[in-house]
Amino acid sequence: MGLDLSSLNSVRNFVSEFESLNLPLNLLINNAGKFALEPAVSEDGIEMTFATNYLGHFLLTKLLLKKMIETAKTSGLQGRIVNVSSSIYKWFSGDMIRYLCEISRNKLRDFDPTRAYALSKLAIVLHTKEVAQRLKQMEANVTVNCVHPGVVRTRLTREREGMVTDIAFFLTSKLLKTIPQAAATTCYVATHPALVNATGKYFSDCNEASTSKLGSNSTEAARLWTASEIMVSRGSKAVFDPLTSALDYDRKSNSRKRKE
């Protein structure tokens, strides 16, 4: 089935088509990835790396959760969601939503490919934490975890292919994983019996690993969730700028907290 994670409309069409098949859904692996060398925005007005790596997955997961919860209940088998992140998420610091606004609007002035990629991967870590918390509150028999696959040469770097990239990969070849090795942690988290009921965790090399201070910040996770809900709202682009609304909501929320 065709699916373009950078397009919210494509995600909705995919889910609609999938639901029409009336199939069970036990496992969801969110693995699409893009490293945009040049600045670009999606058809929904969001910076392309963030739109593809995170926001499309946010909407996909949101729309498929009901089916996963129903499948787990009827089958008695625990559903699992695996989000593929990267240790590069630790490279991002600062205000996530504000930086996203900057690179989505003033892309030529503020865009840094590596920082944008790190932002998208941090969003995945925080999303995992927030979804896990919400599923627990619902008492749903579905878990969600995220993984760092390791450093591996795939077509992720296709926009940077050339002699310099080839030399860089050659010099670091001893540190690289093969594609099967890189997929091992994802497969482990998706299928291993030892991880029944494990949720909201971060895994690397088939072991649970700790996250950064920002990556484990529940306040930032909730803030990102709210902004994401606004950004995927139907017709939001035609009615209002979703990024401005996310910032406005954030300002009002902070103002209320100060008054309290």
Q: Which residue in the list 54, 89, 117, 202 is annotated as catalytic?
A: 117
Report helix angle 96-105 to 113-138, nearest 10.
130
Q: Could you tell me how many residues make up the chain?
A: 260
Residue 216 in 3-state DSSP?
Answer: coil
The rounded distance, in Å, linking the Cα atoms of 23 and 29 is 16
Is 202 catalytic? The answer is no
**Angle 175-181-182 from CA coordinates, rounded to 5°:** 80
Give the angle subtended at the CA of 236 by the CAs of 232 and 1, to the nearest 5°.
45
From the list 197, 203, 89, the residue with the least C-alpha distance to 146 is 203
Crossing angle, helix 113-138 and helix 218-231, to 10 degrees? 100
Catalytic positions are 117
